[in-house]
Amino acid sequence: MSTATASAGHTTLGTIVLRLWPTDRGVLVAVSDRDPRPPAPRASDSNATGGRGLLLTQTMATRWGYYPEPPHPAKIVWAEVSTQPRDALSRPAAGGPEITPLVMGQVLTALREL
């Protein structure tokens, strides 16, 4: 979820909080920041070093969403990532393209690096 925390760091000032919870299906990842705007895809070209966070989240997560975090102007973006690679590879993510073994390996590597 380094992508999520990097995205939060580029859009906000202040503290970014990353939370992880085990679930029956995998790991629930939540990132909170002080930007109240909903997450939105950004246009990026193939040479850009950023702008793909929401696309990656939609591709790797089995489900995701966001909600406001009162009382401050803030939000929490959450995603559930499967810890069962075979299960994750057997079906497309909700509304997203099929997850490849390469993408799943990158997700697992990024989670280990947290």
How far, in Å, CA of 57 to CA of 79, rounded?
7
Q: For residue range 7-65, what is the model confidence (pLDDT) as tens digits?
A: 554 554 678 889 999 888 889 999 998 888 998 887 767 777 777 788 888 888 989 99
Region 98-105: mean pLDDT is 64
Comparison of pLDDT for 114 and 88, the residue scoring more: 114
How far, in Å, CA of 35 to CA of 69, rounded?
10
| pLDDT for 79 | 94
What range defines the domain where residue 51 resides? 2-113
How far, in Å, CA of 78 to CA of 98, rounded?
20
Contact status, residue 82 vs residue 25, Cβ threshold 8 Å: yes
Residue 11 DSSP symbol: H
How far, in Å, CA of 66 to CA of 32, rounded?
9
How far, in Å, CA of 96 to CA of 100, rounded?
12
C-alpha dihedral sign at 57, 9, 5, 35: negative
Number of domains in the chain: 1
How far, in Å, CA of 76 to CA of 31, rounded?
6
Whole-prediction pTM value? 0.60
